Amino acid sequence: MKPFVFKDTTGNSISVPIVDDSARRKIVATVDPKLNPTMMRAATIAQDRAHAHSKSRCWRYVKEALLAAGAVSSYPKTALAKQAGDELVRDYGFKRLAVGDPYDAPVGAVLVYGGKGAGHVEIRNKTGFVSDFRAETPSRRKLVGVYAKK
């Protein structure tokens, strides 16, 4: 890591390492053996289908991954990503997990974010987060909830 160098008020050069947010967080996720195995499969399918950059179709890609993995029995109907959690609980037997930090979500969990517009939804995988694109860090939007099937 390249150090940050600056001069103090006396003219002495001081260097300190640059630490970004991801360096302080555990990137590799835990696997919860109590979760339905289809959740892990959905994370793998989403990872395989994801792009390098957003296509602004996060909920569509997550829906397709959940359906292909067998985590849901039919294609979810809600149009907005921020409504995903309610539908997954109501219609597909998902449970809201007591997780407040996206980094603490188990592999396969569906993370739902609010905010302006449609919101955002992504699936936690072993090395980061995936929806229509892959990311090492979670969305900066406000986390609404973390959902999974047990």
pLDDT digits (tens, 9 = 90+) for 83-94: 999 999 999 999
**Domain harbouring 136, CATH code:** 3.90.1720.10
Structural domain including 81 reads 25-148
Rounded mean pLDDT, 5-31: 73
Residue 4 lies in a domain: no
Residue 3 lies in a domain: no
How many structural domains compose the chain? 1
Q: How confident is the model at residue 53 (pLDDT cuts 50, 70, 90)?
A: very high
Residue 5 lies in a domain: no
pLDDT, mean over the chain: 90
Q: How confident is the model at residue 57 (pLDDT cuts 50, 70, 90)?
A: very high
Residue 2 lies in a domain: no
Residue 1 lies in a domain: no
Nearest-5° Cα angle at 27, 31 to 148: 35
Residue 109 has pLDDT above 70, yes or no: yes
Residue 10 lies in a domain: no
Q: How confident is the model at residue 31 (pLDDT cuts 50, 70, 90)?
A: confident
Residue 67 lies in a domain: yes
